[in-house]
Amino acid sequence: MTSIYERSYTIFKPLVKRTSSVFKPLDTKLKIARISTSYEKYGAFILLMSTIVSSMTFVFTTIFGSLLLGVSLTNFLIYFTLSLFMGISVAMFLYFYPTFKISERRSKIENSLPFVTIYLSTITRSGMQPKNLFEMLARFKAYKTVSQEARKINSDIKGLGMDFPKAISRGMLRSPSPAWTELLAGLRNSVTVGGDTTKYLEEKSKGFIQQYKRRLEEFSKLLALFMNIYITVVIVGLVFFVVISSLMVTIGGVPINTIKFMQYLIVFVALPMITAVFLLIIKSSSPWGAED
């Protein structure tokens, strides 16, 4: 079955080839973000999605805007500008999505490292060889992102026959998290130079636990700040806008259909979008819990 990336590339291949310098920086990011496609196909996907969203926005705003506000050249220019804005917004979101994905993976890894290092230090204390650590960690399903990284390293060791230091070095190159990279570097050095792996993991777990506690404190402060912003700016601002716009209709000078259209847009489009953004920011900042 042809993927959406391949279909996009079939349509926009000439344009992507001419603008390859724009999408080339995505090559490494796509690999670290674990998005399984080339940067050319992903670039074509960006162009396809932005075109679809822009076209649909223009069609729907033209239909509903014409019903509410009537037909005029000025309105059509507004609809066109809005559709262009939506298309560019989608393109920018998709362009930076691999960066967001890397950041998400980094957060998940760093939030799980205190528990992962405790787990690793426990099994090394029982006498397990370092090269077998990642096979065990790959089965640690509570923290899927770390398990995926460990599974890839274990695949390099067991599947490709790489020695432990080389497999660790490759894992460091794929790592989305500096803390995970540092942990891998320490494990590699403890094997190549010779050292107490158990003691190293115990010390790292203590450091990661302290960092985790600090992140919890910072998150509680951030949550309180977002709650205040949401209530005072979003909710109060929305009520204020509805009251003022209603007064404008009473005073006169602004068509009632225009006011209605703006109120519908704010209440049924802007408010849910802003709320969704707040929830996404809070969820991405949260250090609590295992991964879904």
Average pLDDT, the chain: 87
What's CA 281's distance to the chain center, in Å?
10
In a domain, 41, yes or no: yes
Q: Looking at the structure, do residues 115 and 97 belong to the same domain, yes or no?
A: no
- Single residue among 159, 193, 212 that ends a domain in this structure: 212
Do residues 101 and 114 share a domain? Answer: no
- Among 178, 196, 212, residue at a domain's last position: 212
Residue 10 lies in a domain: yes
pLDDT, tens digit, for every residue of 74-95?
888 888 999 999 999 999 999 9
Whether 205 and 217 share a structural domain: no
- The total number of structural domains that make up the chain: 3
User: 177 with 222, same domain?
Assistant: no
Residue 51, pLDDT > 80, answer: yes
- Please report the DSSP string for 111-160 in residue order: HHHHHHHHHHHHHHHTT--GGGHHHHHTT-TTSHHHHHHHHHHHIIIIIS
Same domain, 51 and 127: no
| 197-229 vs 271-285: helix crossing angle, rounded to 10 | 160
114 and 90 together in one domain: no
Q: Are 133 and 82 contained in the same domain?
A: no
Same domain, 17 and 98: yes
For residues 78 and 117, state if they share a domain. no
Mean of the pLDDT values across residues 193-208? 88
> Where do runs of H (alpha helix) occur along the chain?
4-18, 20-23, 26-32, 39-69, 73-125, 133-137, 144-154, 164-174, 178-189, 197-229, 236-251, 256-265, 271-285
Q: Does residue 119 sit within a domain?
A: yes
Supply the pLDDT for residue 1.
44
Q: What is the pTM of this model?
A: 0.71
Which of 2-6, 46-50, 96-100, 148-152 is the least confident region? 2-6
Residue 291 lies in a domain: no
Same domain, 116 and 203: yes
Domain membership flag for residue 292: no
Last residue of a domain, one of 60, 90, 106: 106
Q: Residue 262: its pLDDT value, please?
A: 81
Whether 289 shows a pLDDT value over 60: the answer reads: no
Kindly state whether residues 101 and 152 are assigned to the same domain: no
Indicate whether 76 and 135 sit together in one domain. no
What span, in angstroms and rounded, lies between the C-alpha atoms of 31 and 105?
12
* d(C-alpha 84, C-alpha 35), whole Å: 27
Specify if 33 maps to a domain: yes
Range of the domain at 264: 213-285
- Let me know if residue 137 belongs to a domain: yes
- What confidence score (pLDDT) does residue 288 get? 65
